[in-house]
Amino acid sequence: MWLVGMDTRDEKGDPMTYILAIANQKGGVAKTTTVVSLGGALAKMGNEVLLVDLDAQANLTLSLGNDPNGAHGSIADVLLNSADIYSVSRQSGIEGIDLVPANQEMDLAERFLPIRQNYECILRDGLNGRQAYDFILLDCPPSMGAVTLNALNAAHMLIIPTQPEYFSAHALRNMMAATRKVRGQNNPDLVYRVLITMQDRRNRIHRELSEQILNTFGDGVFRTVIQLDTKLRESAVAGLPITHYRTTTRSTLQYNALAEELIQYVEETNQQADPEFI
């Protein structure tokens, strides 16, 4: 585990879990692919990882070869019926990765969550106080509703995958507004990172827009860029993260680099927070 030897402990001295929300209201920008692939890379590095499917489409659940309607329940039971999140988690079949599945009941969650008291923080409370995992990755639906709001309130970091396409810029502005709102209410320490995905280096527009995103968001953009790789589609059909499907394909190397960049950031942040390092 990467946490070993580091002082990543909360006030009570318990090891900390780093929670990532992967969200963008724009559809098809590689949110789910990033959850599976980054999760795979982190697990291969020896971390214990929990992947949480928050989308009624259940693409995360399916892309790990799991049945969305399995007997153990789903994340909707946590959000709507106060079920314990660990009672609905299951082994994904991949070493180091557990999964909380989703199914169509998440459509109900989107509608009925706002009726519940303090509904924005139900997921955060459900994940609180459990240190079994080094990383928890939350796969959000392509909308900025009650479910995504729960993920942003539970997370330390919001990762916003985005394609270097013209219409993605508008969605990015909306995600920034959502981040500011969440910071101003229940989660003041939320940080964000834009992740450029599905980049085609041969495409001039892609190169120019990638440059513009870097210029606009500066340190708010991961240096690692995920380029187009058709093997990613194959790995989803095979029910495996790309990191476990093809160890040397381009996107495996890039998602490994992303995991390393993330871990370096978390280590540096923890050192700054630790008085011994100041």
Ligand X SMILES: Nc1ncnc2c1ncn2[C@@H]1O[C@H](COP(=O)(O)OP(=O)(O)OP(=O)(O)O)[C@@H](O)[C@H]1O
Interface ranges with ligand X (CB under 6 A) = 27-33, 55, 57, 59, 142, 197-198, 226, 228-230, 232-233, 236, 251
* Angstrom distance (rounded) from CA 194 to CA 256: 17
Neighbouring-strand partners of residue 137: 20, 51
Which class for 237: exposed (0-12), middle (13-18), buried (19 or more C-beta within 10 A)?
exposed
Residue 31 binds Mg ion, judged by CB under 5 A: yes
- Choose which of 25, 32, 249, 254 interacts with Mg ion (CB under 5 A): 32
How big is the site for Mg ion, counted in residues (CB under 5 A)? 3
If you search the block for the tokens 């992740």, which residue do you land on?
Answer: 195
* Angstrom distance (rounded) from CA 123 to CA 53: 12
Binding mask 34-63 for Mg ion (x = CB under 5 A): -------------------------x----
Both ends of the chain: CA-CA distance in Å? 25
CB of residue 160 vs ligand X: minimum separation in angstroms? 11
Cβ-based nearer residue to ligand X, 53 or 77: 53
* Angstrom distance (rounded) from CA 250 to CA 238: 18
* Angstrom distance (rounded) from CA 222 to CA 231: 22
CB of residue 31 vs Mg ion: minimum separation in angstroms? 5
* Angstrom distance (rounded) from CA 62 to CA 188: 34
User: Is the separation of the CB atoms in 32 and 60 below 8 Å?
Assistant: yes
* Angstrom distance (rounded) from CA 101 to CA 117: 24
Residue 26 binds Mg ion, judged by CB under 5 A: no
CB of residue 11 vs ligand X: minimum separation in angstroms? 35
Cβ-based nearer residue to Mg ion, 146 or 236: 236
User: Is the separation of the CB atoms in 74 and 139 below 8 Å?
Assistant: no
CB of residue 27 vs Mg ion: minimum separation in angstroms? 8
Residue 162 binds Mg ion, judged by CB under 5 A: no
CB of residue 35 vs Mg ion: minimum separation in angstroms? 8
CB of residue 33 vs Mg ion: minimum separation in angstroms? 8
Cβ-based nearer residue to ligand X, 127 or 226: 226
Cβ-based nearer residue to ligand X, 35 or 190: 35
What are the residues binding Mg ion (CB under 5 A)? 31-32, 59
